Amino acid sequence: MFSSISKYSPKKLLASYLSKSLAEFFCVDPERVETNLLQDARVVLNDIEIKEQQCGGILVSGSVQKIEFSWTWDTVSLISNVNLTIQGVVIHVNFVKDDESNVVSTTSSSSLVKEPTANDDDETKEAPDWKAKYLQQIIDNLTLMVTDVTIAIHIDETSQIILQGKDMELRTLTTKHSLLQNISLA
């Protein structure tokens, strides 16, 4: 057991975990993940493929050049200045005919949505969840920056609509438990 784990460094373990965690929506090569949690406090995913997803007669696919998640370690709040930067997004939206609709199947519910269970009430009565505390700190300090987005809507083989976006920024206001409320478009 330990011989199989010993060949992985903490960076490789994290890269493998991220790749598996994002596998439902993205193809992430663990070799293309850069991490340095102590010095830079950042995780970078390079050259990510968006997996084809179909909903009804719409097929969506694409790629992302780079996703960078970075933060600053802080002695008071532990985590501050959280940035999620997404660069070079290309999304293709295709309309498929009914006879092509069985090419790609999708699930009706996303793995991002947790279905409530009877045990959920019991869990909330126990000790506070430390993961929820850190996640709230991340959200309270988050700045989302999206640069160079292209969305191509393919009407048919010859017609398409191209939408482009550059330098979009969403920031969390400094109020406690606030949502992303400050929107800036350049």
pLDDT tens sequence across 12-43? 888 888 888 888 899 988 888 888 777 778 88
- Residues present in the chain in total: 186
Considering the chain, what is the average pLDDT of its residues? 77
> What's the whole-number mean pLDDT along residues 71-98?
86
Structure tokens at 148: 């160079």
**Reported confidence tier of residue 5, pLDDT bands at 50, 70, 90:** low
The predicted structure's pLDDT at residue 150: 96
pLDDT at 176 over 50: no
Confidence of residue 135 (pLDDT cuts 50, 70, 90): confident
The SS3 of residue 143 is strand
Tokens 């398409």 found at: 160
The conformation of residue 114, written as its DSSP 8-state character, comes to P
Higher per-residue pLDDT: 184 or 87? 87
Q: What amino acid occupies position 83?
A: N
**Per-residue pLDDT band at 114 (split at 50, 70, 90):** very low
Q: What is the pTM of this model?
A: 0.69
pLDDT interval class at 62 (50, 70, 90): very high
